[in-house]
Amino acid sequence: MGAYILRRILLMVPTIFGIMAISFVIVQFAPGGPVEQVIAQLTGQGGDATERFTGGGSEVSGADEFGSSVEGGGASSRYRGAQGLDPEFIADLERQFGFDKPPLVRFGNMIWDYLRFDFGESYFRDITVIDLILEKMPVSVSLGLWITLISYAISIPLGIRKAVSDGSRFDVWTSGVIIVAYAIPGFLFAILLIVLFAGGSFFDWFPLRGLVSDNWAELSWPERIVDYFWHLTLPLTAMVLSAFATTTLLTKNSFLDEIRKQYVITARAKGLTERQVLYGHVFRNAMLIIIAGFPAAFISAFFTGSLLIETIFSLDGLGLLGFTSVVNRDYPVVFATLYIFSLMGLLVSLLSDLMYTWIDPRIDFESREV
């Protein structure tokens, strides 16, 4: 097992390198980089992504300095919208963003810094990238953890019941409900919940934005717990609608496969009740694949399912952070989150394999090729 773990860890290095290299190359050809974002803001064509550079404390900031730059010579520039700006001002921007170096040098420096977990600072926010990620993480962790726990709490009992009553009316209509629920987009259901229960057109029972209320610090511990789940109710409902479908069908098929095996027939022949057979013999074997897949299910819910939900319910988490960083071309945040998520995904994949061997010693990855 030690050799298998070592091989998997060594394979993570070229995998992450390839992910970062491909992403870096794609970014080089994407229009509207951070320099162009500042130029657009300066010329009145952009949003407020460049607030850090137009504020009072930046290196090339202040109304006077920007004003004199605009009135500089009309030298040509490779940046869209830079006509009429002082070339020295453009060069200062490039130095601030690190674009005065060749792409290979920038990529090499980025990889070296990331190997030391030095992610630098956000281009447009006066905060380090790691602090920014830690600031947004509680929202995404809350959504990912609770959606995984709730989906498992629904999927496992429902999957067992469907396996026991395979082919019955209950099995048929629940399968129909699961398929329909899986097909409904989570963001569309979220909008429906807002219209119905968050002051849209009918009831005003739940808050529309945030993870906690503004007076959170003034509440007692019981009131904080109630307030926390009060805010999570609608987002979790929107996300859980389709989250339990795959696990339910996987549970059902796993139990059906075990129920048809010879040891179940032997257990029944010994006079054991169906409950004893199901939970004393079948359950332990059928749940191996479900339990071992828990880390991967959590990471999936944590990383992939929250962007639109966070946006709709104004939950300031990692999904929304990643989206706004891409839109604003905040490359340190984009590449740092990509690096961290890729590394965590690979580590969780390894952890899932190790859980298989821990739960079922008969599984031996050591004798297989990676």
Are residue 71 and residue 200 in the same domain, yes or no? no
Residue 183 shares a structural domain with residue 249: yes
Tell me, yes or no, whether 322 lies in a domain: yes
Question: Quick check: is 87 in a domain?
Answer: yes
Q: What is the pLDDT of residues 323-349, one digit of tens each?
A: 888 888 888 888 998 898 888 888 887
Same domain, yes or no: 134 and 263: yes
Tokens of 264: 């179940």
Are residues 155 and 222 part of one domain?
A: yes
CB 39 within 8 A of CB 114: no
Q: What value does the mean pLDDT of the chain take? A: 78
Residue 346 has which token pair?
Answer: 């690979």
- Chain-centroid distance, C-alpha 79: 33
User: Domain boundary residue among 105, 124, 143?
Assistant: 124
Do residue 110 and residue 179 come from a single domain? no
Q: At 85, is the pLDDT very low, low, confident or very high (cuts 50, 70, 90)? A: low
Residue 57 has pLDDT above 60, yes or no: no
Q: Is residue 215 part of a domain?
A: yes
Assign residue 146 the CATH number of its domain. 1.10.3720.10
Smallest Cα–Cα separation from 347: which of 4, 8, 2?
A: 8
Q: Are residues 216 and 310 located together in one domain of the fold?
A: yes
Q: Output phi, psi for 8, to 5 deg.
A: -65, -40
Both 221 and 264 in one domain: the answer is: yes
Q: Which domain holds residue 71?
A: 34-124
How is residue 362 annotated by DSSP? T
Q: Is 6 within a domain?
A: no
Structural domains of the chain, count: 2
CB 84 within 8 A of CB 72: yes
Same domain, 271 and 180: yes
Residue 191 belongs to some domain of the structure: yes
286 and 251 in one domain? yes
Region of 81 (left: φ > 0; alpha: ψ -120 to 50; beta: rest) is left
C-beta neighbour count of 104 within 10 angstroms: 9
Indicate the range of 5-19, 126-140, 254-268, 297-311 predicted with least confidence: 297-311
> Tokens representing 301?
């819910």
300 and 162 housed in the same domain: yes
Residue by residue, DSSP assigns 115-183 as HTT---B-SSSSSBHHHHHHHHHHHHHHHHHHHHHHHHHHHHHHHHHHHHTTTSHHHHHHHHHHHHHHH
pLDDT in tens, 282-325: 887 887 777 777 776 767 666 655 677 888 888 888 877 878 88
Give the helix/strand (H/E) hosting 322.
helix 318-327
Whether residue 206 sits in one domain with residue 165: yes
For residues 145 and 211, membership in a common domain is answered with: yes
